């Protein structure tokens, strides 16, 4: 059976498919580079598992207090080896990325301390954690203040402003690697390393935490290789490889991670408690698969940028730019276009493909958010998904795809829905396809 025929049965028209194939022909070199990075990171993960002597006993389930949980403790040693840190906290009791960040921040900041973001405003859900938006149990409520140095208009670090903001009370600096719901570039690990070195040059005892969500295994190195005291993320994003059903990680210095463990459980208990509840096979195997899964998502992001940029939609990063996370921002310009894009992603899903995404007042956000995700794990954004706040400039954020082939279909289905809605005229698509053939 022809590929076009089965895609037609899924709702994808031949003109949209033909346009995608024309774009794809120019991306082979980019995809080869993605595969080389994946191969390096696969070897890195394998080496960490072998060095820590992973064996079948580490997959046994534990319940209750979880004392002497060999599989859990060894998994944390594996993560520390992968991220080249002294220690790690990897737990199903960490419910999401925001929770992991909240644990890391609240554990390592005391009343009277100040938290500094040198990269502009934090991700929406951290605003209530910090207290930028009033919330019970925020850092602000416990006497931790917050300072911020905005990026320059070109997206570069404002080192003069950062130097001024680092003061006697600055205890911890938080750097968000990925763009979040913003259209700024994602920071490369090299740039993050430069920023960390600058901040520690101004104040040597300051601690630096990097929100590593969406960035793991995109590059051969991680922020922890370049001086970060903590790197923090979610297991239902990159490092869970699509198999982890819940969880988060904090890798860093022993002192920082120990404090995080006390905050997650209780003072005096720390990492000694916390049963694995039978999740160890998914956690180990998900980490093993993560470099390959991330590579598929990266190819999808590169493809999405090139598909939409050629049709006149602003993309961050651009189609030819280097990638530092798996997120692709596409500015669509209207509520209707965002809804159509998300309908296409949902229509390509293996789960809930028949559902129509609608904007809603999602907890932790100050505007309506539309989300498309037919995932095996609810909310898993390493799986094919797209979302964005319904506010100007009406940008949608596409990410994930457990396989490159699924990511490709999702992108083409998003374009199909824009064509059906009359937002992308068919003649524009045909003209763009012809131009690709001439390249």
- With helix as H, strand as E and coil as C, how does the chain read? CCHHHHHHHCCCCHHHHHHHHHHHCCCHHHHHHHHHHHHHHHHHHHHHHHHCCCCHHHHCCCCCCCCCCHHHHHHHHHHHHHHCCCEEEEECCCCCHHHHHHHHHHHHCCCCCEEEECCCCCCCCHHHHHCCCCCCCCCHHHCCEEEECCCCCCCCCCHHHHHHHCCCCEEEEEEECCCCCCCCCCCCHHHHHHHHHHHHHHCCCCEEEEECCCCCCCCCCCHHHHCCCEEEEECCCHHHCCCCCCCEEEEECHHHHHHHHHHHCCCCCHHHCCCCCCCHHHHHHHHHHHHHHHHHHHHHHHHHHHHHHCCCCCEECCCCCCCCCCCEEEECCCHHHHHHHHHHHHHCCCCCCCCCCCCECCCCCCCCEEEECCCCCCCCCCCCEEEEECCCCCEEEEECCCCHHHHHHHHHHHHHHHHHCCCCCHHHHHHHHHHHHHC
Instruction: Name the region of 247 (left: φ>0; alpha: ψ -120 to 50; beta: rest).
Output: left
Copy the structure tokens of residue 320: 């030819």
**Mean pLDDT, residues 396-421:** 97
Model pTM greater than 0.85?
yes
**Mean pLDDT, residues 381-405:** 95
What percent of the chain is modeled with pLDDT above 70?
A: 99
CA–CA separation, 119 and 157 (whole Å)? 7
Question: What long-range pairs does 57-65 form, CB within 8 A, spacing at least 24?
Answer: 58/280, 58/284, 59/280, 59/281, 59/284, 60/280, 61/275, 61/276, 61/277, 61/278, 61/280, 62/275, 62/276, 62/277, 63/275, 63/277, 64/275, 65/273, 65/275
**pLDDT for the residue 232:** 98
Cα dihedral angle (320, 382, 239, 293), rounded to 10 degrees?
-70
Residue 372 has pLDDT above 70, yes or no: yes
Confidence of residue 1 (pLDDT cuts 50, 70, 90): low
- For 395, other C-beta atoms within 10 Å of its C-beta total 22
Copy the structure tokens of residue 51: 């060095």
Say if CB 148 and CB 121 are below 8 A apart. yes
**pLDDT for the residue 147:** 98
Q: What is the CA radius of gyration of the chain?
A: 22
In tens, the pLDDT along 175-196 reads: 999 987 777 889 999 999 999 9
CA–CA separation, 198 and 206 (whole Å)? 11
Copy the structure tokens of residue 143: 């006497």
96: which residues sit within 8 A by CB, 6+ positions away? 234, 236, 248, 379
Please state which of the ranges 77-86, 146-155, 161-170, 426-435 shows the lowest mean pLDDT.
426-435
The mean pLDDT of the chain is 95
In tens, the pLDDT along 396-405 reads: 999 999 999 9
User: Which of 188, 71, 59 has the alpha carbon at shortest distance from 119?
Assistant: 188
Say if CB 347 and CB 412 are below 8 A apart. no
Farthest CA pair distance, the chain? 69
User: Which of 214, 181, 186, 185 has the alpha carbon at shortest distance from 390?
Assistant: 181
Residue 140 has pLDDT above 70, yes or no: yes
CA–CA separation, 282 and 239 (whole Å)? 11
Confidence of residue 329 (pLDDT cuts 50, 70, 90): very high
Residue 52 has pLDDT above 90, yes or no: yes
**Mean pLDDT, residues 130-136:** 95
- Ordered domains of the chain (ranges, CATH): 3-41+291-438 (3.90.1150.60), 58-287 (3.40.640.10)
Structure-model confidence comparison of residues 2 and 85, the more confident one:
85
In tens, the pLDDT along 280-317 reads: 999 999 999 999 999 999 999 999 999 999 999 999 99
Write down the residue that tokens 């694995």 correspond to. Answer: 276
In tens, the pLDDT along 221-264 reads: 999 999 999 999 999 999 999 999 999 999 999 999 999 999 99
């Amino acid at each position: 059976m022809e590929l076009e025929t089965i895609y037609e049965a899924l709702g994808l028209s031949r003109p949209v498919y033909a346009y995608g194939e024309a774009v794809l022909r120019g991306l082979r070199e980019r995809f080869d580079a993605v595969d080389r990075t994946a191969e390096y990171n696969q070897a890195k993960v394998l080496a960490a598992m072998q060095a820590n002597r992973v064996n079948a006993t580490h997959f046994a389930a534990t319940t209750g207090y979880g004392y002497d949980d060999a599989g859990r403790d060894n998994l944390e040693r594996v993560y520390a080896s992968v991220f080249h840190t002294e220690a790690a906290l990897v737990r199903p009791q960490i419910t999401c990325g925001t929770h992991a960040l909240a644990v890391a921040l609240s554990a390592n900041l005391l009343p009277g301390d100040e938290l500094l973001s040198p990269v502009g405003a934090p991700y929406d859900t951290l605003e209530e954690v910090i207290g930028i938006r009033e919330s019970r149990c925020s850092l602000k409520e416990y006497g931790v203040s917050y300072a911020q140095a905005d990026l320059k208009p070109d997206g570069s670090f404002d080192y003069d402003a950062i130097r001024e903001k680092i003061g006697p009370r600055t205890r911890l600096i938080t750097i968000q690697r990925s763009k979040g719901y913003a259209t700024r570039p994602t920071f490369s690990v090299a740039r993050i390393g430069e920023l960390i070195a600058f901040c520690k040059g101004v104040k040597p005892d300051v601690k630096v935490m990097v929100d590593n969500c969406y960035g793991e295994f995109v590059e051969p190195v991680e922020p922890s290789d370049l001086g970060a005291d903590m790197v923090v993320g979610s297991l239902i994003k990159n490092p869970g490889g699509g198999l982890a059903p819940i969880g988060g990680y904090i890798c860093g210095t022993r002192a920082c991670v120990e404090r995080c463990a006390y905050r997650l459980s209780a003072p005096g208990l720390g990492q000694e408690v916390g049963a694995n509840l039978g999740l160890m096979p998914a956690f180990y195997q998900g980490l093993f698969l993560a470099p390959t899964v991330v590579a598929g998502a990266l190819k999808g992001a590169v493809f999405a940028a090139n598909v939409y940029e050629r049709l006149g939609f602003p993309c961050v990063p651009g189609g030819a730019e280097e990638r530092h996370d798996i997120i692709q921002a596409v500015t669509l310009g209207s509520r209707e276009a965002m809804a159509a894009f998300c309908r296409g992603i949902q229509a390509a899903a293996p789960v809930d493909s028949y559902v129509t995404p609608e904007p809603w007042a999602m907890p932790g956000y100050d505007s309506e958010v539309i989300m498309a995700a037919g995932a095996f794990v609810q909310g898993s954004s390493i799986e094919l998904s797209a979302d964005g706040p319904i506010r100007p400039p009406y940008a949608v954020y596409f990410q994930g795809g457990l396989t490159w082939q699924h990511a490709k279909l999702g992108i083409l289905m998003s374009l199909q829905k824009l064509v059906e809605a009359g937002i992308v005229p068919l003649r524009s698509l045909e003209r763009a396809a012809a131009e690709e053939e001439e390249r």
